[in-house]
């Protein structure tokens, strides 16, 4: 981390403001050369920025954050320039002209924050989720993790397991004293069971944390011309899919992301199910069945003009994940039982949206403010730690103290991977590459 890095932290294109960030050993030198007069730390200061040749670049607000009390833990600058593309281009070119100063790689600012101990890996993942969040509940979950909600629980587990190690080390040191062993076993067993129970609770709700990041997936299925594309456009409130009376218009999967009362929902419009010799249409139907099998909910649409067409066996076998919806109710001669809608006139749409929202809430809501495991790697680490604790508890009265201690150490090591204390080199590159360059 000897290089000083810089990047545009706001979106490209003309805008009122563009924020350019700089972090590294030369930040103070760069600020002095561009802004001239000294800038007071953590105080927004307006300065005329000039290039090395004295050419005026822009009048900008400068923020100076001396390390280690900065986002990255290094000396940092933020230049809040005007968002003209010409200004941004000249600023980046000027910064690149300084020795040992280069454009940041994706996520490099956050990686430096991690490597300098400013944020642990779980908090960094929460930050990434916050940047990517689309709905209110995604934001709430992400900010809890970014602010240390998961890390605090992991640290408490780690502290309790270290206490167990201390108890057993005392047993090893004073094993000749007959009154120590029973108390050690009882205290260690209670401590281990307490940690194990909390891990079991976290694992029980872990799917919801990860699912909230991804959102609820809903597949629109049905025969051709049953109103799938029209419904997708109505839910998305824009023309996402082509609507046509010609059967087989939709061949590939078309999707739209929705925010339903704070829950992320992805709606998939798929090929109409029918017997056909068209190989492309048959491929579309095959893809539809594959997506329906993996979906959280399948809306089987049939037109009121054709009468209720029951779903085929390949759809019925999905059980309670399938909901039958009657469409084209604006053209129906009489009211129908069950969920009946018209995506054009709005008949029944409130009931459908309520059904989708309730299903999203039941599937995605964690129902708790505590520890939420939001990634598969979190679940794997906790499951591995729990297995080690189970082995320790099983051998508490039957194996040597050294073996119990080793299982506890394995559990500590496993949960340490969540916050990045041990063994995370293989996930760092993948994680930080998903961040934008300015973060």
pLDDT tier, 192 (very low <50, low <70, confident <90, very high otherwise):
very high
- pLDDT value at 431 more than 70: no
- The CATH number of the structural domain formed by 216-364 is 3.40.50.300
Q: How is the beta sheet containing 216-221 ordered, strand by strand?
A: 254-260, 263-269, 216-221, 297-303, 322-327
What dihedral angle (degrees, nearest 10) is formed by the CA atoms of 172, 178, 180, 185? 80
Please state which of the ranges 39-48, 234-243, 266-275 shows the lowest mean pLDDT: 234-243
244-254 mean pLDDT: 57
Given a cut of 80, whether residue 243 has pLDDT beyond it is no
Q: What is the pLDDT of residue 273?
A: 76
- HSE (CB half, 13 Å, CA atoms) of 213? 20
Across residues 89-103, what is the average pLDDT?
94
* Nearest CA among 379, 427, 422, 414 for reference residue 107: 427
Q: What is the pLDDT at residue 225? A: 84
What is the pLDDT at residue 68? Answer: 93
What pLDDT was estimated at residue 14?
83
Give residue 241's pLDDT.
58
Q: What mean pLDDT comes out for the span 301-323?
A: 87
Q: Between 359 and 1, whose confidence is greater?
A: 359
- What does the mean pLDDT of the chain come to? 85
**For residue 439, pLDDT beyond 90:** no
- Model pLDDT, residue 178: 45
Q: Is a pLDDT exceeding 80 seen at residue 251?
A: no
- CB half-sphere exposure, 256, CA atoms < 13 A: 20
User: d(Cα 29, Cα 23) in Å, to the nearest integer?
Assistant: 11
pLDDT per residue as tens digits for the range 168-183: 776 665 555 544 457 7
Q: How far apart are CA 415 and CA 431, in angstroms?
A: 18
> Mind listing the pLDDT tens digit for each residue in 199-210?
998 888 777 788
Please tell me the least confidently modeled range out of 23-27, 184-188, 233-237, 363-367.
363-367
Instruction: Assess if CATH 1.20.120.430 describes domain 123-205+374-420.
Output: yes
Confidence of residue 248 (pLDDT cuts 50, 70, 90): very low
Q: How confident is the model at residue 370 (pLDDT cuts 50, 70, 90)?
A: low
Between 240 and 187, the more confident residue is 187
Please give the CATH superfamily to which domain 4-114 belongs: Probable tRNA modification gtpase trme; domain 1 (3.30.1360.120)
Residue 4 pLDDT grade (very low, low, confident, very high; cuts 50, 70, 90): very high
Q: How much is the pTM?
A: 0.75
Percent of the chain with pLDDT strictly greater than 90: 45
- Which pLDDT belongs to residue 15? 86
User: How far is 114 from 110, CA to CA, in rounded Å?
Assistant: 6
pLDDT at 195 over 90: yes
Closest to 78 in 3D by CA, of 20, 146, 8, 144: 20
Q: What is the pLDDT of residue 278?
A: 65
Q: What's the rounded mean pLDDT across residues 93-110?
A: 93
Residue 209: both structure tokens together:
């944390």
Residue 81 DSSP SS3: strand
Domain-wise residue ranges, the chain: 4-114, 123-205+374-420, 216-364
**What SS3 class is residue 435?**
coil
Assess whether the previous peptide bond of 332 is cis (omega < 30° from 0): no
Q: Which helix (H) or strand (E) holds 221?
A: strand 216-221
3-state secondary structure of 84: coil
Span 31-76, pLDDT tens digits: 999 998 889 999 999 999 998 888 899 999 999 999 999 999 999 9
What average pLDDT score do residues 152-162 get? 91
With a pLDDT cut of 70, the percent of the chain lying above it is 86
């Amino acid at each position: 981390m000897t290089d000083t890095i810089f990047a545009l932290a706001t979106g490209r294109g003309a805008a009122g403001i563009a924020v350019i960030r700089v972090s590294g050993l030369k930040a103070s030198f760069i600020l002095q050369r561009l802004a001239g007069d000294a800038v007071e730390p953590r105080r927004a200061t307006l300065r005329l920025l000039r290039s090395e040749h004295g050419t005026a670049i822009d009048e900008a607000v400068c923020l100076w954050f001396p390390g280690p009390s900065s986002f990255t833990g290094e000396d940092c600058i933020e230049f809040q320039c005007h968002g003209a593309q010409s200004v941004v281009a000249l600023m980046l070119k000027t910064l690149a002209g300084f020795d040992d100063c280069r454009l940041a790689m994706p996520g490099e600012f956050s990686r430096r924050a991690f490597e300098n101990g400013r944020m642990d890996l779980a908090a960094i993942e929460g930050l990434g989720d916050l940047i990517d969040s689309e709905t209110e509940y995604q934001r709430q979950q992400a900010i809890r993790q970014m602010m240390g909600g998961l890390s605090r629980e992991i640290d408490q587990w780690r502290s309790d397991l270290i206490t167990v190690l201390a108890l057993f080390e005392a047993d090893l040191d004073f094993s000749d004293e007959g009154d120590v062993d029973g108390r050690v076993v009882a205290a260690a067993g209670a401590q281990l069971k307490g940690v194990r129970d909390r891990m079991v609770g976290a694992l029980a709700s872990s799917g919801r944390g990860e699912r909230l990041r991804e959102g609820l997936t809903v597949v629109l299925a049905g025969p051709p011309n049953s109103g799938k594309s029209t419904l997708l456009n109505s839910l998305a409130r824009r023309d996402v899919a082509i609507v046509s009376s010609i059967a087989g218009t939709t061949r590939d999967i078309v999707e739209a992301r929705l925010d339903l009362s704070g829950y992320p929902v992805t709606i998939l419009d798929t090929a109409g199910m029918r017997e056909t010799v068209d190989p492309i249409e048959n491929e579309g139907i095959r893809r539809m069945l594959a997506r329906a099998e993996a979906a959280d909910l399948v809306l089987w649409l049939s037109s009121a003009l054709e009468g209720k067409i029951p779903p085929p066996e390949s759809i019925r076998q999905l059980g309670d994940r399938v909901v039958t919806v009657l469409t084209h109710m604006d053209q129906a001669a009489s009211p129908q039982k069950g969920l009946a809608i018209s995506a054009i006139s709005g008949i029944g749409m409130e009931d459908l949206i309520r059904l989708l929202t309730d299903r999203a809430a039941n599937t995605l809501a964690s129902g708790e403010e505590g520890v939420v495991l939001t990634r598969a790697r979190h679940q794997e680490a906790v499951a591995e730690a729990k297995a080690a604790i189970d082995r320790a508890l099983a051998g508490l009265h039957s194996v040597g103290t050294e073996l119990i201690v080793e299982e506890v150490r394995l559990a500590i090591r496993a949960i340490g991977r969540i916050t990045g204390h041990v063994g995370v080199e293989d996930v760092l590159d993948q994680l930080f590459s998903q961040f934008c360059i300015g973060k």
